[in-house]
A = this chain, B = another copy of it.
Amino acid sequence: MGTVPLLKDEDLSPEAAEVFAEIRALRGTDYVNNFWRAMAHDPGGLRALWDRLKVVMAPGALDPLVKEMIYVAVSTANGCDYCIHSHTAAAKGKGMTPAQHAELMAVIGMAMQTNGLVQGLGVEVDEVFRA
């Protein structure tokens, strides 16, 4: 399955194993999902990604739940089934209610629709919208 095999814990390089330990510690679960097991073939890339992801998704000016919903929005527009599933699950884990999920879907659908209409009509950006 996939274009690389998923690595089991016993197949990890020491550098990858260290990242897996950090993932487990931060998330408070032993479960490490498939994406990281595919990424582990490239320990340097795994480390860089994990280090950056922790910063980007941490609480900041935006709430972590809002960040997960933004992540779902991008992943949906890109049709990335894996990311849609994993970040929807993450959003639910951070408290997304069914009503919020429904509104997230509705906004995504509306944005997709007007993206198509705007592009098909070739509408030029209003000067007032430029920074």
Q: How large is the interface on A (under 10, 10 to 19, 20 to 34, 35 or more residues)?
A: 35 or more
Contacting pair B2 A122 (CB below 8 A): yes
Contacting pair B124 A74 (CB below 8 A): no
CB distance from A54 to the nearest CB of B (A): 11
Cβ-defined partner of A120 (8 Å) among B3, B6, B53, B86: B3
Closest B residue to A113 by CB, please name it: B113
Chain B contacts for A38, CB-based, 8 A = 118, 121-123
Contacting pair A70 B71 (CB below 8 A): no
Contacting pair B76 A130 (CB below 8 A): no
Chain B contacts for A24, CB-based, 8 A = none
Copies of this chain, how many?
6
Q: Report A90-131 CB contacts with B as 1/0, cut-off 8 Å.
A: 000000011111111111111111111111111111101111
Contacting pair A114 B56 (CB below 8 A): no
Chain B contacts for A110, CB-based, 8 A = 52-53, 56-57, 71, 113
Contacting pair A82 B52 (CB below 8 A): no
**9 residue pairs bridging A and B, Cβ less than 8 Å apart:** A57-B110, A69-B70, A75-B111, A76-B120, A78-B112, A105-B116, A108-B116, A109-B114, A111-B116
